[in-house]
Structure 1
Amino acid sequence: MTKTKAHSLFTEFDINLFKAGKHYRLYEKFGSHLITVDGVEGTYFAVWAPSAKSVSVIGDFNFWLEGEHHLNVRWDGSGIWEGFIPNIGKGTVYKYKIRSTNNDITTEKADPFARRCEHPPKTASEVWEDDYAWNDKKWMKNRKKNNALDAPFSVYEVHLGSWKKQVEEGRFLSYHELAEELVNYVSEMNFTHVEFMPIMEFPYDPSWGYQLTGYFAPTSRFGYPDEFKYLVDKFHEKGIGVLLDWVPSHFPSDDHGLGFFDGSHLYEHPDRRKGYHQDWKSLIFNYGRNEIKAFLISNAIFWLDQYHADGLRVDAVASMLFLDYSREEGEWEPNEFGGRENLDAINFIKEMNAAVYESFPDVQTIAEESTSFPKVSKPIYDGGLGFGMKWMMGWMHDTLDYFAKEPIYRKHHQNELTFSLNYAFTENFMLPLSHDEVVYGKKALVDKMPGDEWQKFANLRMLYSLMYTHPGTKLLFQGAEFGQTSEWDFDGSLDWHLLDYGVHKGAQNLVKDLNKLYKKEPALHEKQFSHEGFEWIDHGDHENSVMSYIRKGENEKDNIIVILNLTPVPRENYRIGLPKKGTLTPVFNSDDTKYNGTGNFKSKKLTSEKKVWNNREHSIELNLPPLGMIAYKYK
């Protein structure tokens, strides 16, 4: 039995920050690091295991024998075990074997800070270091403008394993292959950002990546860490931001993961009412423990620092905020004030957002939060949680419910479409049509629509047209852009062959042009989070199921007039009021033949009349296509 050489990357200041929960770059200290000690190359290991009585590094290099390389516990009560093992380097496979003071329980754990993990189903960690040379200096210098709240922000949500498969070999595309195919596709489609469903290492494919075991390691399914950096780099080269799904809400109980790490409830809350998620059969972090806060905030910072991510979409925030989330009476305990809010989790979220924006003021954090919890996307100094944006789940549910209705009944439900404007500016909302809406029997988006094939796709085009002219940023899940007709299959590939058919190619062309319009027209993004950016012309024409509104930019000359006909009945000589006299020039028509529309209602320049309508002195008469949106701006 040998003791590893005494060596440490920790200073006393590091330890004090760690204990206080304020060390936000723990990845520079914990884990495995290639270093040289007294002229000898090797690897330094450090792991937090305060309930351990011994910790060994085991791996191929010592035939997985526990007694060969013991780590040393620090003297300062931090619970950190560390040591230097000479003559092992990059690619070394290892785990920690931990003997606990708790009934002599023994665990074998992957390194919580590992930079690379074995390809699942293998579960060990790998010593890893790369010297990737970034080429995105231009993007990083300018990304504050691209990520700003008054900038166009349209997101293509991607599950890397199922976007496209290498058909002949029946395998995933690699990070390098995706850097060619996916990057070019997202650029061609005019999206401003891409969002990856979790790419951190996870053991179980059907979890879609939301049950993480390797928080600091991009999954090895698609290649190596430096190859993932190359993928991010290539997106930046095309002027496209990269958002990462981040999961601080729960983690799986796999034997090699964080659960019961050192024979104690180290990472998870010891009270099962706060430490176990019944829906997902997973464990919940102990947000009240300083070291756990430091671990999670360091993880958020890591992906922004080491992988140049441009933002984090934070998963399942609602489950963190409320002690009674998905729990029956008696299954939860109120907080110290008798409320249902998880005060520790709320404090953690605020600290995380504050730390992220302090170090990276040019990124965005985005909350997937489904409740009416106040001020999710408001500054912390204003009593908010500090996120940059929040998913607008209410808009998504109401809108999809409306579009599922037969057009003949829509006149009774127009308020489902207009209601979102009553609260649209209470948060910085992102409009999501995400993966969650096309699984588990919910059907593909186009299959939610009523009518024959033409009407289904016309409804889909209308849905997207409404989405892109409604205040807020946008998110669309892979396959939705061309009207994928089957539910999403995480184990399959998108049905790219559908683009051989006009209805699907038309939908794709529409999304491409809507992204272009959103980027080009200031009125669609400059005031997307302000009531000053939106004005109704008429939301009350229920009988005809027609809505009209104005989107406004900083300059009045940029304002856009939007009219939607939500039934398959064309509306000829339809009149709307205008904010002023002038000539209107068409900027978009969802009924165009290139979108597989009828092409029978071509947009043309129109001159206003001095005729009172919708309580406005000037108005215009126009022909509205069936299930179509047309948009104009003043010449």
Structure 2
Amino acid sequence: MVQDTTLEHDIYLFHEGNLRYSHRLLGAHPETRNGEKGVRFAVWAPNAVQVSVVGMFNDWDGRENPMEKINDNGIWIAFIPGLEKGTIYKYEILTTHGHLQLKADPYAISSELRPDTASVVYPLENYSWGDEEWMKQRKAKNPYESPMSIYELHLGSWKNIEPEVFYNYRDYADTVIPYVKELGYTHIELLPLTEHPFDRSWGYQATGYYSVTSRYGTPDDFKYFVDQCHKYGIGVILDWVPGHFCKDAHGLRRFDGEALYEYANPSKAEKTQWGTLTFDFARNEVQSFLISNAIYWLKEYHLDGLRVDAVASMLYLDFGKEDGEWELNEYGGRENLEAVSFIKKMNEAIFEETPDVLMMAEESTSWPLVSAPTYIGGLGFNYKWNMGWMNDMLKYMEMDPIHRKYHHNLITFSLFYAFSENFVLPISHDEVVHGKKSLLNKMPGDYWQKFANLRAFLAYMYAHPGKKLMFMGGEFGQFDEWKDLEDLDWELLDYDSHASILDYTKQLHQLYQDMPALWELDHKEEGFMWIDANNYEQSIISFARNSRTSNDQLVVVCNFTPEVYHDYRIGVPKHGSYKEIFSSDAEHFGGSGQTNGLPLESVPSPWQGQDQHITMTIPPLGVSFLKRTSVSKEENHEK
């Protein structure tokens, strides 16, 4: 019989699927009872016959510290005096089948370094944060009308001591953060840092959802990393995987001898292509587990957002499955209705608890209203990765320029739907691994043309509506694809072409941040205007990006062939003097120097649907950004 009314209420909410801080109820928590210090353990195991806490402190003997089952729904509790921070433990569970199994704590705050698999007692209250100013500014910031350029990062292969031997989170804070700040990125996105048994899963197949991986240090070490990011003015986004978990014996699979965190129905539970198990989104306690987990990362670690992995795999019952491996829902459809309901509930809870965070969906289908509020029928995220743009653009850029004119729609089609969601344009780790080649090495042509293509692609990416994301190594043109057991090829920066790309990335970010037209109306149709989308013969496109202030308008001209065009006419919206403020073909970036050094005066003659036009040089495999710097004589006369 539970006596504590607060505890009773929390247990009730947990079983209702509405306990948003279930990590405070369950798990291992140092506390004092009757003047004696120890640790309170609590675990949910409704199908267990008996549960004990075991560890070095009792010679892993389950007879020493049995837990008490405090309700019919299977919460077990034990207080063990004398234990403290750093205690290593597991739960010994006797199943209804008569088997004894050892399980890591689903709510463990810390875990042993792999290959060891036990949980570690770790209080979270001892770190003193220093990011008050950042958190205050975050509340007042409108991310939709702000620049956002994200550096996607896998710590262990950014730099390491040797393969599979890593630096501490604090060491990475001292090296990664100044580098990212110098380049001008606004956010770091970390591949999953939840505890996982296999390095090469990159964290996407987890066992410890509340444990920051011990590969790089302790929870306080990771808090220091986030704290330092915020002191440098950099936001932190964590890749988060609520769709599935791995089958390792010490993890969540058949936790108490029966399907508990996963679906009991194998056709719904099995993620056959990944060898993992799907969470049972209909089970209330699993909802409490996952929603609490998201809020835990955002609150306890001051994270600025979560990128939610593989949302499509949650939404569709047939994702990655062959005919006969899945079953229709109750209405005869392929949608996982329970997952849809869970996602909406999750996002509602997160934005009620932390209204100023980013919730980004990696959703690869045409599911509508992913980044729309739930009250209008959306899934409730505030951003969606634009996988369509990514696939089209990489397919286009990999082509020999001579063939690009036959596939011109690949660089224009995204503007038909660019404002249907709040999009992030992602060039992520998935695009530069498993034989897909690095971003630079995808580019066709000789050595010079590869770099020119890369510069043109990046410039178009930053001119296109949507926030930006780039995986590490792309910023200096790594030739090899991502090698997840080695660090980046930093020695390439000894070569001029790679050093120039790094400087180009820095200058492109400076342009991006300085020009509100490139981000202020990112998600509104009035932020973009085609000038010429149809010149497929020469693979040239031109468009305008607009801000709230008309004087900040930019004209962008892109040439995706190696031809140079002199005296090329471009329509412009207003008459005046246009200055080329940025060219991807500038010599100091390694380009050919076919730039427009002198101001370009508009001519009051209609062209390409505009009232005025200018005549300019179009660089080979180049992108030019033009800004009206002064009004024309005619406009002055009119005034």
TM-score of Structure 1 vs Structure 2, range by shorter chain: over 0.9
Matches for 1:273-288 after TM superposition, within 5 Å: 273-288=267-282
What is the rounded CA distance, in whole Å, between the counterparts of 2:180 and 2:3 in structure 1?
47
Q: Which residue of 2 aligns with 1:14?
A: 10
Q: Which residue of 2 aligns with 1:574?
A: 568
Q: Which residue of 2 aligns with 1:88?
A: 83
For the pair 1:117 / 2:111, whether they are aligned, the reply is yes
Matches for 1:76-475 after TM superposition, within 5 Å: 76-101=71-96, 103-130=97-124, 131-146=126-141, 148-166=143-161, 171-475=165-469
- Tell me the secondary structure at the aligned position of residue 102 of structure 2: strand
CA contact (8 A) 1:6 1:83 kept: no
Q: Per-residue displacement from partner, 1:101-120 (whole Å, max 9, x unpaired)?
A: 2x123221000111100000
- Tell me the secondary structure at the aligned position of residue 54 of structure 2: strand
Could you tell me how far 1:145 is from its partner in structure 2? 4.6
What is the rounded CA distance, in whole Å, between the counterparts of 1:591 and 1:160 in structure 2?
33
CA contact (8 A) 1:7 1:83 kept: no
Are the structure 2 counterparts of residues 222 and 9 from structure 1 closer, same or farther at C-alpha, using a change threshold of 3 Å? farther
What is the rounded CA distance, in whole Å, between the counterparts of 1:617 and 1:304 in structure 2?
50
What is the rounded CA distance, in whole Å, between the counterparts of 1:552 and 1:457 in structure 2?
29
Are the structure 2 counterparts of residues 603 and 348 from structure 1 closer, same or farther at C-alpha, using a change threshold of 3 Å? farther
Relative to the length of structure 2, the TM-score reads: 0.97
- Tell me the secondary structure at the aligned position of residue 349 of structure 1: helix
Q: Per-residue displacement from partner, 1:332-354 (whole Å, max 9, x unpaired)?
A: 11111111100000011001111
Could you tell me how far 1:146 is from its partner in structure 2? 4.8
Q: Give the residue type in structure 2 aligned to 1:22.
A: N
CA contact (8 A) 1:192 1:239 kept: yes
Q: Which residue of 1 aligns with 2:48?
A: 52
Relative to the length of structure 1, the TM-score reads: 0.97
- Tell me the secondary structure at the aligned position of residue 389 of structure 2: helix
- Decide which of 24, 31, 37 is 1:28's aligned counterpart: 24
Q: Per-residue displacement from partner, 1:357-398 (whole Å, max 9, x unpaired)?
A: 111111110000100111111110110000011110110011
What is the rounded CA distance, in whole Å, between the counterparts of 1:512 and 1:265 in structure 2?
50
Structure 2, unmatched stretches of 5+, are 630-639
Could you tell me how far 1:300 is from its partner in structure 2? 0.1
CA contact (8 A) 2:164 2:485 kept: no
Q: Give the residue type in structure 2 aligned to 1:71.
A: M
What is the rounded CA distance, in whole Å, between the counterparts of 2:7 and 2:358 in structure 1?
32
What is the rounded CA distance, in whole Å, between the counterparts of 1:257 and 1:563 in structure 2?
53
What is the rounded CA distance, in whole Å, between the counterparts of 1:470 and 1:202 in structure 2?
36
What is the rounded CA distance, in whole Å, between the counterparts of 2:333 and 2:2 in structure 1?
49
What is the rounded CA distance, in whole Å, between the counterparts of 1:34 and 1:379 in structure 2?
39
Q: Give the residue type in structure 2 aligned to 1:79.
A: G
Could you tell me how far 1:178 is from its partner in structure 2? 0.6
What is the rounded CA distance, in whole Å, between the counterparts of 2:39 and 2:4 in structure 1?
11
CA contact (8 A) 1:509 1:594 kept: no
Could you tell me how far 1:594 is from its partner in structure 2? 2.3
Deviates more, 1:602-611 or 1:317-326: 602-611
Could you tell me how far 1:13 is from its partner in structure 2? 1.1
Deviates more, 1:507-516 or 1:371-380: 507-516
Could you tell me how far 1:599 is from its partner in structure 2? 2.1
- Tell me the secondary structure at the aligned position of residue 58 of structure 1: strand
What is the rounded CA distance, in whole Å, between the counterparts of 2:7 and 2:314 in structure 1?
33
- Tell me the secondary structure at the aligned position of residue 506 of structure 2: helix
CA contact (8 A) 1:6 1:84 kept: no
Could you tell me how far 1:575 is from its partner in structure 2? 0.4
Are the structure 2 counterparts of residues 145 and 528 from structure 1 closer, same or farther at C-alpha, using a change threshold of 3 Å? farther
What is the rounded CA distance, in whole Å, between the counterparts of 2:130 and 2:87 in structure 1?
29
- Tell me the secondary structure at the aligned position of residue 312 of structure 1: strand
Could you tell me how far 1:10 is from its partner in structure 2? 5.7
Q: Give the residue type in structure 2 aligned to 1:13.
A: H
Q: Which residue of 1 aligns with 2:637?
A: none
Q: Give the residue type in structure 1 aligned to 2:297.
A: W
CA contact (8 A) 1:313 1:368 kept: yes
Identity of aligned residues (%): 50
CA contact (8 A) 2:594 2:618 kept: no
Are the structure 2 counterparts of residues 9 and 444 from structure 1 closer, same or farther at C-alpha, using a change threshold of 3 Å? farther
Q: Per-residue displacement from partner, 1:301-330 (whole Å, max 9, x unpaired)?
A: 000010000000000000000011111222
CA contact (8 A) 1:15 1:78 kept: no
Q: Per-residue displacement from partner, 1:393-444 (whole Å, max 9, x unpaired)?
A: 1100110111111111111111110000011111111100000001111111
Number of corresponding residues: 628
RMSD: 1.4
- Tell me the secondary structure at the aligned position of residue 626 of structure 2: strand
CA contact (8 A) 1:147 1:153 kept: no
- Tell me the secondary structure at the aligned position of residue 33 of structure 1: strand
CA contact (8 A) 2:43 2:75 kept: yes
What is the rounded CA distance, in whole Å, between the counterparts of 1:410 and 1:146 in structure 2?
40
What is the rounded CA distance, in whole Å, between the counterparts of 1:44 and 1:413 in structure 2?
63
Could you tell me how far 1:129 is from its partner in structure 2? 1.1
